[in-house]
Structure 1
Amino acid sequence: MTISDFTLLKKILRPKRIYNLYYFKPVEGFSLDSRTLKKGNVFVALKGKYKDGYQFIKEAKEKGASLIIAEREFFLDGLKIPYFVVEDSLEAIKKITRYIIKKKRPFVYAITGSVGKTTTKEMLCFLLEEKFKVHKNYHTENNLLGVAKTVFDLKDEKILILELGTNSLGEIRDLSELIFPKVGIITFIKPTHLEGLKTLKNIYEEKTSLLKVNPNIKAVLNKDDPYLRKVDFCKKIYWFGKSKDCHLYARFLKRDFKNSFFLIQDKFLLKLPLQFEGFIFNILAAILGAHLKGISFKKLVKRMNNFCRYPWGRMEMKRIKRFFILNDAYNSNPFSFKESLKIVERFPQQKIAIIGDMLELGEKSIYYHKILASTLIRAGIKYCLLMGKFTFYLKEELKRMGYKKVFHFSSHKKVAQFIK
């Protein structure tokens, strides 16, 4: 985005002090990272947990930054670019984000939920990009900085798909106020990020706050989730799930070694190239969301049969020689862990589970690790190899239940040595 008018930039940011105004030139976009900054970008120096963007102002200048935004002065001989001193760099980022959304007016989809956000985002993008120019978050960049970075990179795309993450109360509401979504998709309410959110009720309140900013938002919700079924405050709710009273529903047909088969709306055959049927909820959310842009269910299901962008580390099945490996290691949680064990339970071969800590479960961390014991035994796991602070309690629970082949290790290297 090009801003040629200095007074407009001043109006957006309301800086405390301005230096080197004489050198002002039209700015070409915004950057939070000096490593990826392009010539003509405004560089916003932000103080992070580990690094302070203030330290990279010189590098940004050398790369061709057109203007600097920071919370304190920076004096460098020959700087010769405008320099805005602001009260709060984060607030400056929010102001820029709001301005770009207001100016470019993309059709915004916002996706949140305890699990399945990234997969749903990738599926929705895949379904829409055949007909529209689409822009989305990169990987899981779903906090304020990730959302801002995505908006900063918006060009002429008409549709913007934003995955919104949270680990503390109020984050989803703040992000929603920045982007003002027209469609809000929520996948599941499950026990994740309890360290910051504390309770399932808080998770529900936090996730559904996405739907409380735009009074005309179209909500796309999972009717199979008991918490989401409580939502009744939106004017327009579109339900997906496995029952026929949903706007979009799926019926499981069969599975073979590589695929699972579903019938959508009792009409359209969908082949899911995975053993994990749980992805059907992501698929339904994406199809229903895309349908709101006028694409028929028939066309969407047909295109969905060609989808292959399943994110790494989420129910990822691989075969290496005589071994089958199911990788669900990315930010695992109690819900996805139990779902992955349902797949493992089907295989008659000898099974080994390698388990690390599930993080951000707060005061219930010990509880959620211990309750996995019965699921592991039911899945027929022959060896349990554990590593981490909280898996120690899982080991104790397994032993209490009479399971003997459980081992706890202090490092990845020792786990690998044991397997060899």
Structure 2
Amino acid sequence: MMIRKFGEIAEMVTGTAVGGEAAMLVRGVSKDTRTIEAGNLYVPIIGERFDGHDYAKEAYDRGASATLWQRDRGEPPAGVPAIIVDDTLAALQQLAARYREQLPVRIIGVTGSNGKTTTKDMIAAVLAESYNVFKTEGNLNGDIGLPLMILRMDESTELAVLEMGMRGFGEIELLTQIARPEVAVITMIGEAHLERLGSREGIARAKLEIAAGLRSGGVLVYNGDEPLIEKLLPAAAKPDSMSCVRFGTSDQNDLQLGRVGIEADGSSFTVGSSQEPVYHIPLLGRHNAVNALAAIAVGRHFDLTPEAIASGLRKAQPTGMRIEKLQAPTGLTVLNDAYNASPASTRASLELLGELTGYGRKIVVLGDMLELGGEEEQFHWEIGEFLTPDRYDYVFAYGPLSVHMAEAARLSFPPERVRWFADKEELAQEVASVAAPEDIVLVKGSRGMRLEEVVHKLMTLQL
């Protein structure tokens, strides 16, 4: 974590220190009084329904050594060392940028509509074979989370793999300018955030903002199967000297996916026409094998041997609720992919389920895909059309938009095999009533649908 003197931090954020000794050591940063640690700098964030300034005294009483304080919020609490700034969020971001400038750490930034968290995990696992590596925790990848992650890095960190998320234009550019990566990775361009960005081309423009913060001589690693990246890259902001590495399934890529095998404990694949080495990842699905190519590209950039890269990929620890394979006490297999959903990621998960062998019936549980803009009903209808009774046995849908998914699926399925629910408890009970121990259930939906609640029910219900 960042350890700096109180006076140094005031200089780093261009603020005014009051009520504290300039030489006082500050250890780490927190915005949450519930997790504050002794010596932390408290950062009061202002939200739509809360103001962190209301908790600054509590943070100090819990052990914080000082607080940032926004100038328009009056006087800081008596006796609490404070650094007065114009905007606490901007100050947090500036502090992270300055701290990053002071470190010799080499940074890899990862973005994309889908797969960025899993790709981040695979890249970090590969690099950890040879380096002291830090990676983004969970999904702390936005304008608050990324600065906090940078400030959590130790000065001994050699490489950091930082995830960069966004919901609108300009957000990734802000993050990449703070992090200044040596390598930037774009996993894919999907439909998430269409509501804000208007089109897939708009999404591609927003994702390409990651190149704007690349250091001179940096590397852009991107999915070469996406023509929008190729189309927009020439006009995108980027350093004068930048090299590119393309990965994907077509033969135009520098790293092309070869043979893929889906196994009980993950996926194995080769690169290009080579038979060796065979790489293995503890993740199910061809789409995850594609993203593993990005991890291989990053590993090669940092001079890891093929053996070290393969070893790292085998050890990757994916973040939860991303094709998480679970076994219920009843014997039922559940694929928990409930963290998020878009049309592209839903199709990828359905393709995986269709390819799996060794199970009885294949049961699909799908929730709404959110933030898709004016075409949201059509996207849900198309997923329903994608489902066919020769590959899947039952379809259970949840949420107001998933009505359209169910209606489309009913055109090809027997009516009793497609069911829509407004209640997750009822849905889980109905799945349990038709499922057998040898069956497999895929559960997928957007974060706002919280379909992990269905997963938890399926893990405890009797069949």
- Normalized against structure 2, the TM-score is what? 0.83
Determine which of 309, 315, 324 is the counterpart of 1:307.
315
Matched, 1:261 2:261: no
Count of residues in Structure 1 that have an aligned counterpart in Structure 2: 415
Percentage of pairs with the same residue: 26
Per the alignment, do residues 344 and 163 of structure 1 end up closer, same or farther by CA in structure 2, a change over 3 Å counting? same
Q: How far apart are the structure 1 equivalents of 2:427 and 2:6?
A: 60
Structure 1: 5+ residue stretches without partners:
none
Q: Does 1:317 align with 2:325?
A: yes
Q: 1:181 to 1:90 in 2, by over 3 A?
A: same
The equivalent residue for 2:218 is 217
- Cα pair distance change 1:184/1:377, threshold 3 Å: same
Q: Secondary structure of the residue that 1:35 maps to in structure 2?
A: coil
Q: In structure 1, what residue type is equivalent to 2:379?
A: Y
Distance 1:5 1:344 in 2: 54
For 2:181 and 2:3, locate their aligned partners in 1 and report how far apart those are by CA, in whole Å.
24
Equivalent position amino acid for 1:200 in 2: R
In the other structure, the counterpart of 2:11 is 11
Check conservation: 1:313, 1:330, Cα contact below 8 A.
yes
In structure 1, C-alpha distance between the alignment counterparts of 2:128 and 2:262, rounded to whole Å = 29
1:66-114 deviation line (CA, Å, top 9, x unaligned): 22112223454xx433223322111111110111011113101100011
Say whether 1:414 aligns with 2:426.
yes
CA gap 1:65/1:396 in 2 versus in 1, 3 angstroms: same
Of 199-208 and 26-35, more deviation after overlay is shown by 26-35
Among residues 279, 286, 289, which one is paired with 1:280 in the alignment? 289
| Gap change, CA 1:376 and 1:23, over 3 Å in 2 | same
Within-5 A mapping of 1:148-297? 148-155=147-154, 156-214=156-214, 215-230=216-231, 232-233=233-234, 235-243=242-250, 245-265=252-272, 266=274, 267-297=276-306
Deviations, residues 161-196 of structure 1 (Å, cap 9, x unaligned): 100001111100111111111110111011112122
Aligned-partner SS, 2:68? strand
- Say which SS state the counterpart of residue 238 (structure 1) adopts: strand
Q: What is residue 84 of structure 1 aligned with on the other side?
A: 83
Pair 327,57 (structure 1): closer, same or farther in 2 beyond 3 Å = same
Q: Which residue of structure 2 aligns with residue 355 of structure 1?
A: 366
Contact 1:241 1:281 in 2 (8 A): yes
Whole-Å separation in 2 of the counterparts to 1:99 and 1:308 = 31
Q: Does 1:369 align with 2:380?
A: yes
1:385–1:407 CA contact under 8 A, matched in 2? yes
Residue 337 of structure 2: aligned partner: 328
State the distance in 1 between where 2:64 and 2:333 align: 50
Shift in Å at residue 309 of structure 1? 1.2
In structure 2, stretches of 5+ residues that fail to align are: 434-463
Determine if contact 1:238/1:247 at 8 Å carries over to the other structure. yes
Q: Check conservation: 2:281, 2:316, Cα contact below 8 A.
A: no
CA 407–238 in structure 1, closer or farther in 2 if over 3 Å, else same: same
Query: Per the alignment, in what secondary structure is the counterpart of residue 252 of structure 1?
Result: strand
Deviating more after overlay: 32-41 vs 318-327: 318-327
* CA drift at 1:329: 1.8
User: What is the distance in 2 between the residues matched to 1:157 and 1:386?
Assistant: 45
Tell me which moved more, 201-210 or 58-67.
Answer: 58-67
Q: 1:379 to 1:111 in 2, by over 3 A?
A: farther
Q: For residues 301-357 of structure 1, give each alpha carbon's deviation from its aligned partner in whole angstroms, at most 9, with x where no partner exists.
A: 2432x2241232222333434433222221111112112222332457333222211
| Higher RCO (C-alpha under 8 Å, 6+ residues apart) | 2
What is the TM-score normalised by the length of structure 1? 0.91
- Conservation of the 8 A alpha-carbon contact between 1:32 and 1:46: yes
Q: What amino acid maps onto 1:287 in structure 2? A: I
- Distance in 2 (CA, whole Å) between partners of 1:260 and 1:68 is 48
2: CA distance between counterparts of 1:23 and 1:179?
Answer: 27
- SS of the aligned residue for 2:387 comes to helix
Paired with 1:213 and 1:166, the residues of 2 have a C-alpha distance of 15
Q: 1:259 to 1:157 in 2, by over 3 A?
A: closer
